[in-house]
Each structure stands twice: as C-alpha cells, then as structure tokens.
Structure 1
Amino acid sequence: MLAPTPASPESAGMSEAAFDRIEAHLKHRYIDAGRFPGTQLVVYRRGKVVHSTVQGFADLERKLPVKDDTIFRIYSMTKPITSVAFMMLVEEGRVALDEPVHKYIPEWKNLGVFVAGTAPAFLTRPPSRPMLIVDLLRHTSGLTYGFQQRSNVDAAYREMKIGEVIKAGTLDSMIADLAKIPLEFSPGEAWNYSVATDVIGYLIGKISGIPFEQFLKERIFNPLGMNDTDFFLPADKAHRFAACYSADPQGGMSFHAADRKGGLTLQDDPATSSFLAPPSLISGGGGLCSTTADYLTFCRALINGGELGGVRLIGPKTLALMTSNHLPGGRDLPEMSRSLFSEAAYNGIGFGLGFSVTMNPAQTLIPGSRGEYAWGGAATTSFWIDPAEELIAIFMTQVLPSSAYPIRRELRTMVYAAITDSNL
C-alpha cells in the first residue's frame, strides 16, 4: 500500500506553529518530566500527512530512541480492527447482529445474572433477554474485565485469569470459563468495558472456519500491507519493539509544580517480553502490536469509507452503522456505564460497534465534531477519526495505565486548535 503524501500543515488548513506547541508540550510536560519515555504523533488531513514526529526513547534502559518504525503494544486499539473483521462476516450474510450469542456458544445459553455470592457459589437470576451479538460489539453484554475491581464477578475473572494483560489459556478455554461466571447485569441494561471483543474474535474463527489470527492476516493485514501488525514479533523485528512502563505519578498529576516529576517503572522488557512468541490466547480485545504507519493505513481505509488502494474492507453503509451510537435510548457513556475504567469517559460520547462515537461535542467540553469516532489502548496509545474535518490523529507511547495523565484530552484540544480552515 502506498504511503500517504507528506505535506505542510498549511496545505491542508492547519498551522505548523500549533504543531510546534504540541511537540513542546509533549517534551516539557511528559518526556522531560519523566512521565513518558517517548512519543510519536501523526496527524493526517485531507489526504495528506501534515504532521509526523517522534521524541524521546522507545527503550529508556538501552537508550534507544523512538523511530518511525518503532513497534508498540496497541492493546485495546485492537478492538476496532476485530470489530471491522466481524462486520465483514455480517456483510457476507454469515451472521447477524440481532442473533443470540448462544446460537454460536451453546454453553452460554443458561448464563444467569449475578444476585449475590462469590465463586463458585453464585446466586443468579435469569436475564431479561438473551445476550445478542450487538451486545458484544457495543459492550452491553453483561461481561466485564477483572481489573474493574468493582464486584464479585470481577473477582471471579481475576481468580480465573480472564482478560488479563498477559493472557492465560486459549480462546476456547476462556469461553468455557466464562460459562461458569454470571453476568454483571442483564444484556442491554448497562455499558461495561469487558472481554466482549475477545469473544468477537472467537466468533470470527468459529464462523469463518479459519483461525481468528489467520482471518485478520488474510482479510485485512496482508491486503492493506500492514506488515508490522501481529499478535507477536518475529526475531527479526524484536529490535524495533518499544519497552512498556508503569506510571508512578508521585504527585506528578500537578503540572504546576516544577519540582514534582512523574516516574516510570519498567513493566515489560522488549528483550524478554511475552510478545516475542505466539500467544496461546489470541486476544481480539487487546493482543496486537503495530506501528503508527500500519495503524494509519487502517484508519485511512475507514475515513475513505472502508476502502484504500483498491482494497475494500467493508462498505460505507456498514461503516456508518458501526460509527453510530448504539447505546439503548441514545444515551451516552456516563449515563449507561457501570465501568470504573474505560478508554473514553466524556459526556456526549456514545458507543458504536467497536468505537466510541461523539454525539454532542458541546457536552464533551473538548473541541471536536459530531460523528468523530475513536478508541485507545491500555498503554496510553490512542486514535481518533473525524470524517467532517477529514482528520485522523494517532498517538503512541507505552505507559500503563492510560488513565494516569490527561494526555488524550490535551491532544484533542491542541490538534483541533491547529485547524485554521474548518470544513464546518
């Protein structure tokens, strides 16, 4: 796939001086302050890359700088890719969004909803309706993540090591384990960030008849030339793999105290990482590694209506369905969320089929456009696509958790401030 044309910000209605401010902000507040090891930011507008920079280190211990081809753990930015893959099967008439999940996972047919108790002695009640495929895509299934640490159901996930950063077991064993744990709530009643997209990956394999990872490679990665996107890194790419760190703010949340700095603790050494070998559990919810260039290729296909360079992933009407708000009653995430954690938590933001979706920019209190869609990953990676402004922004770093600093809000504000010629 041909790389996009680099161009000056001004040629696409943006300001170079504003981008200089963004990079100075990243350097001063985050890299020099010890909050981020290094960063990569790419902004694409009106068919051109108008900003692409790297700063700092991909690996602090070895003093290896971030480069254009650095490979990052994208964690939950895997979810939009998995969701698009599933919708390819929907387009082919092989599965429908309103079908019950137990049609494909019979052992889930009698899943109850948590009332009381702890594993394995749960008291449950029947759900008010069956879990549907659409519930998995929009996170209204009643499933959860153990790291939410909110309920006895979350605790059971942790006990059985379901949905952890380092994945245990296989997709088949995860599905079997989930059959033993009740739902947090009846499907459709609430929004809860969960392992649901891992289940979507399992269904892709089951419905397509080929392994999930093979489906992604044959139907998305190879056709688009996303050659650096995979669930593990072969030996010849290991030297390009970034280290991952845990944030230790140490009071560093206050950016006004120059003497207070954040701290970083090595969380995953690229020389010994589990990502250097094929995983036993192929996680459609958070298992991929990728480069900014590869992820931009995927995003360019989406902003172009599902097609890039003659390769069509999905049709524009399917994409429009995916990027509409699917939360019941047209509600937003804060209204419906049971999650203690989400990659997006702003007012005015709904959720589609694999993406957060901006419904009301004014309610977010951040510049943006109605219909903008986005998501992020646990290591503070993020992207958003704004069809109205013909804009894509992708940010990469490797710091857990993504909630440690308000970088996403800041980047949105500052990137939109760089627009000098709005389409709206």
Structure 2
Amino acid sequence: MENVIKELVDAGQLAGAAALAWRNGEVVHAAAVGRRNLANELPVERDTIFRIASMTKPVTTVAALMLLDEGRFALDEPIEICAPELAHLRVLRDPEGPLDATDEARRSITFRDLLTHRSGLTYGEFHRGPVGRACAETLGAQIDNPLTPDEWIARVATLPLIDQPGAGFHYGISTDLLGLLIARLEGESLGEVLARRVFAPLGMRDTDFVVSREKRDRRAALCGFDDEGRLTTLTATPGRHALDERPEDMPFESGGQGLWSTLDDYLVFARLLLPDPEVPALLRGETLAMMTSNQLTPEQRAAARMFGQSIFAAGHGYGMGVAVVLEPEKADPMRCRGGVGTIGWPGAYGGWWQADPNDRSVLIFLSDNMVELWQMARGIGLDAWSAIASFHAIATS
C-alpha cells in the first residue's frame, strides 16, 4: 500500500495520501505517505485532515434520513413545505438549449428526488450549453460561497431544470439543496445539524466545514497541476469553488462537497452504514436498507451520464448518497467494487471509500489533488486516480 502511493509521490503525481483498510472489527492496515504541504514539507500522517469533496454527500444524506425517521417530512412530499420559493419551476425542453425554451414542471421536486439526484438540478460544469453558464454565474462557488443559504436557494429558484422532477438521474446540487432544507427544518446551520446529529454521536471530532485554528497545521493543502503538468499548491480550486483559507464566518455550507475529515473519522461513519453493532445506530434498519439499496430504474441507470460516460450501467445502481454494487463482475472500483450491496462514493479531490457488508470491510483513500477537466482530457493527473485502483486491488486480495 505504501509503495503504490510512494511511487506516485516520487513521480510528482501526488503530494501525499493516507489510506486505511478495516475488516471484521480492526484496522488491518493503514498508510500515510508523502507531504500534506508542498511548501513546508510537512508529512502526511494518519490524522491529517483532508477536504473530502463529494464524500460529504452520504453524511448529509444520513442527517436528512434521521429527520425522515422522525416524521419531519415524507419522501414524496414537495420540498415547498420548507422552500416555497421553489414552487412552479420551469424545465428546459433541451438540456443544451436556450434558457427561454422551457415548459412547466409536471410536478414539484420531492425529498426523494433530492436524495436520489432525480430533481432535474445539475452542476454547471457538466453542461456546455447556456444552462451550464447560467448555473455558474447565478450560484457562484460550489463550496466556499459568500451567499447566505436563503440567497442561494432563491437563486436556484431562478434556474430552469434540465429534466422533469423524478425522470432521470442527474448528478449535481441536489444534496446541497437538501442540506440547506434540513437546516431550515431544524432552525440551525447545516454544520450545527451535522455536529449534533452525526459527528457527536459517532465521535467524529475532526470533521467539519471549517478546520478550527488549533487543527490547521494538520490540514492537507490543496494541490493541482500547472499547464505543464507539474504538481503545485493551489490557493483555491479552479473557479474558486473551494478556498485554501475558508472564512470562519462564511454562512453557506455545502452539504454536497464541503466537509473536511480524516481516515478515522470517516471510518466510523462508513461502519455506521454496514451496519456495525459497535457504532451507534442513527437510522432505523429499514431506512438504512433503503439508503444502501438501488433506487433507480433500469432505464435511469442506463441513461445516467457524467462527462459523457455511463455511470451506473456497468454493475452499479444508486441508493441515497451512495453507489451500490449490483453486479460485482462489472463494477468499476472507481465507484466501489465488492460483493453485492457494497457501497461507496468518491470525491473530486482524490478521496475514495467503500463499505462491503459481505466481508464487513471498509476501505478509505484520502488525498487532496485537484485535476481540471481539460487536464484529464490531456492525460494530466490521471496517475493519481490509478493509485485508488491499485489500493483496491491490494486491499481486497
């Protein structure tokens, strides 16, 4: 495991990474290799705090499902119960077409739609047409955003959907909106909701939307590649979606991408989803089973695309916040691969995890390497992602 990471560090493709394999109640291996900061040569350690990007989504999903268990909302209830500004939305006739060519939404977005990414909301960078530019210009930064939650929701209401609610899987801002809605229901910030409902019960002491001052020396610095493919430190991700120094008083908290965490914190969260009797049960058994079971129709799985590539047709489905292995022999390890029912979901900065209930194992890989889309097209930075596949092969052998 160490050698896989060290080869990439030595080749200048990765600043550093931390990885962990847990099976049947114990950590069977953990590795921390390379540097968490290129500028001052600080090493990656087991307690290094990484941005986990979309690994945030399952955490927000669990908090939302806790409210579902308490009867605070129903799955098929319109989200207008707590966001009246999102009533009467419009839907593009062509996802890549002009913004004024729309029809009325046939129905409201429901909480189920948000939980399964079938709301018709998307990420701007996934579309080259007018809606992509409109999302970027209207909503601004995806993570460290100066808008208030209410301002952000109001701006979402001005955007057309790219599909009818419930019709298809479109990866995007659904979980961000879900997080802000449960915060409204609770009368707290999303960070306060997650701290009280998830982090405190599970003992996740190093997970939050902002790293406290006394822990900042443990952060992994954001890294990326310059135009020549050389590894460099970033002060912000492309588009300034995430800043290296997030203001502590920034009100917007991204339930889809915004958390920082560590190997051991995310391990206990992943064990929650197995489930593990040694970890406090935050959800009813039937609710956890629903979250970790495929919710998409065969047609929705086949049609789901990300950057023009199929997401789920080859071996995976999607539950609520997680991919689910349906056909192990066809499953791509970059989502997750294990026995039937294995779950996981990666993050854009090189984070990855999976939990396999069949052999009761959890695998986690954390790094903070940002690769832009145009760089991927030129083959820059792809070697860092290969480390995850190699780690998976070693840890499951």
TM-score of the alignment, normalized to the shorter chain, above 0.5: yes
How far is the alpha carbon of 1:339 from its aligned partner? 3.2
Kindly provide the CA deviation profile for residues 303-354 of structure 1, in whole angstroms up to 9, marking residues without a partner as x.
235x644x3211222111001111134753xx22243289966722111111
1:158 corresponds to: 136
Q: Give secondary structure in 2 for the equivalent of 1:293.
A: helix
Provide the residue aligned with 2:104 in structure 1: 126
Identity of aligned residues (%): 35
Equivalent residue for 2:114, pick from 121, 125, 136: 136
1:264 aligns with 2:231: yes
Q: Is 1:101 the counterpart of 2:79 in the alignment? A: yes
Q: How does 1:140-289 map to 2 (within 5 A)?
A: 140-162=118-140, 164-247=142-225, 262-268=229-235, 273-275=244-246, 277-289=248-260
Asked if structure 1 preserves the Cα contact closer than 8 Å seen for 2:168 and 2:300, the reply is no
**Structure 1 portions without partners, runs of 5+:** 1-21, 251-261
Residue 174 of structure 1 aligns to a residue whose secondary structure is: helix
| Equivalent position amino acid for 1:325 in 2 | N
Conserved 8 A contact 1:127-1:187:
yes
8 Å Cα contact 1:238/1:276 also seen in 2:
no
CA RMSD of aligned residues (A): 2.7
Q: CA deviation at 1:71?
A: 0.8
The reply on whether 1:313 has 2:282 as its aligned counterpart is yes
Give the corresponding residue for 1:303: 274
Shift of 1:409: 6.3
Q: CA deviation at 1:39?
A: 0.9
The aligned counterpart of 1:363 is 330
Aligned residue pairs: how many?
382
CA contact (8 A) 2:5 2:387 kept: no
Deviations 1:78-117 (A, max 9, x none): 1100000000001111111111222322121110101369
Matched, 1:376 2:327: no
Amino acid aligned to 2:360: E
AA paired with 1:266? Answer: T
Match of 1:354 among 321, 335, 347: 321
Contact 2:326-2:341 at 8 Å conserved across structures: yes
**Cα offsets for 1:233-286 (capped at 9, x unmatched):** 121111111111123595xxxxxxxxxxx521222379x833352422111111
Q: Secondary structure at the match of 1:312?
A: coil
Aligned CA distance change for structure 1 residues 117 and 287 (closer, same or farther; 3 Å):
closer
Q: For 1:25-40, list aligned pairs within 5 A.
A: 25-28=4-7, 30-40=8-18
C-alpha distance in 1 between matches for 2:362 and 2:304: 27
Change (3 A) 1:109 1:406: farther
- Cα distance in structure 2, aligned partners of 1:317 and 1:67: 37
Q: Secondary structure in 1 aligned to 2:101?
A: strand
Distance in 2 (CA, whole Å) between partners of 1:234 and 1:343 is: 39
- Taking structure 1 as reference, are residues 144 and 136 closer, same or farther at Cα in structure 2, changes over 3 Å only? same
1:162 to partner: Cα distance: 4.0
User: Does structure 2 conserve the Cα–Cα contact (< 8 Å) formed by 1:323 and 1:353?
Assistant: yes
Which residue of structure 1 lines up, in the alignment, with residue 240 of structure 2? none
| Cα displacement (A) at 1:62 | 0.8
Whether the aligned pair in 2 keeps the contact of 1:76 and 1:378 (CA below 8 Å) is: yes
Tell me the SS of whatever aligns to 2:5: helix
Instruction: Describe the shift of the 1:269–1:197 C-alpha distance in structure 2 as closer, same or farther (beyond 3 A).
Output: closer
Match of 1:386 in 2: 356
**What is residue 392 of structure 2 aligned with on the other side?**
415
Mapped to 1, the partners of 2:188 and 2:61 lie a distance apart of 17
1:308 to 1:410, Cα distance in 2 relative to 1, 3 A? same
Does the 8 A contact of 1:233 with 1:276 survive in 2?
Answer: no
> What whole-Å deviation, never above 9, does each CA across 1:163-191 have from its counterpart, x for those lacking one?
52432312211110011111011122221
SS at 1:320 equivalent: helix
Match of 1:11 in 2: none
- Which residue of the other structure, out of 375, 395, 411, is the alignment partner of 2:365? 395
In the alignment, the residues of structure 2 paired with residue 167 and residue 96 of structure 1 have an alpha-carbon distance, to the nearest angstrom, of 29
Of the three residues 367, 382, 385, the one matched with 1:405 is 382
Q: Which residue of 1 aligns with 2:303?
A: 336
- Deviation of residue 55 (structure 1)? 0.4
| TM-score, with length taken from structure 1 | 0.83
Q: Match for 1:299: what amino acid?
A: A
- The one-letter amino acid of 2:123's match is Y
Contact 2:14 2:369 (C-alpha < 8 Å) held by counterparts: yes
Q: 1:293 — aligned with what? A: 264
Q: Is contact 1:145-1:157 (8 Å) kept?
A: yes
State the secondary structure of the residue aligned to 1:411.
helix
Say which one has the larger Rg: 1
2:291 maps to which residue?
Answer: 322
Aligned in 2, Cα 1:289/1:414: closer, same or farther, shift over 3 Å? closer
Report the AA paired with residue 319 of structure 1: L
Distance verdict in 2 for CA 1:33–1:238, change over 3 Å: same
1:27 positional shift: 1.5
